[in-house]
Amino acid sequence: MTLTEVAKKYIGNTEKPNNSGWFDAEFERRMKEVGWLTGQAWCSYFAELCFKEAYPDKYKKVQNLFDASAVKTFSKFKSGVSQSLKFQLKILLLSGNIILRSSRMAGPCSHMY
């Protein structure tokens, strides 16, 4: 499965108020497996979940690069702190990419999808 295919299978899941979870208990269980906790922002965890399901073999090598914070996730992937891995970060949007964006023009990324 590609990242896009994994993400599409979750379309329609409804979030409970205040980052308190989802009405789909199975989806919530999967989010908790990648580290999401009630009350936390979930965008970074969702990107991690999609990566984990799309690329299980690769995920094992990079799972410690993911973080609850999109900013920290970006920094970890940029520096490749895990096993001296280096990732090329491009300003090129393609279908199936994980995207990090900032709500500020020059600031660090603050959202992931």
- pLDDT tens digit sequence for 10-46: 999 999 999 999 999 999 999 999 999 999 989 889 9
pLDDT in tens, 78-94: 776 655 555 555 544 44
Q: What share of the chain is helix, strand, coil (3-state, %, to 5)?
A: 45, 5, 50
Report the alpha-carbon distance of residue 1 to residue 72 in Å, rounded. 26
Q: How far apart are CA 88 and CA 94, in angstroms?
A: 14
Label residue 75 left, alpha or beta by phi (over 0 means left) and psi (-120 to 50 means alpha): alpha
pLDDT for 21 equals 96
Cβ-count burial 54-89 (b if 16+ within 10 Å, e if not): bbeeebeebeebbbbbbbebbebbeeeeeeeeeeee
How much is the pLDDT for 28? 97
> Quick one: pLDDT band at residue 2, thresholds 50, 70, 90?
confident
Give the pLDDT confidence score for residue 106 in this predicted structure. Answer: 46
Q: Which two tokens stand for residue 113?
A: 């999808």
Question: So what's the pLDDT on residue 62?
Answer: 86
Pairing of strands 111-112, 100-101: antiparallel
The pLDDT, as a whole number, for residue 93 is: 47
Q: What is the pTM of this model?
A: 0.76
Sequence spans of domains, the chain: 3-112
Fill in the DSSP letter of residue 74.
H
Rg (CA), the chain: 14
Write the pLDDT tens digit of every residue in 36-88. 999 998 988 998 999 899 989 888 888 998 999 888 888 887 776 655 555 55
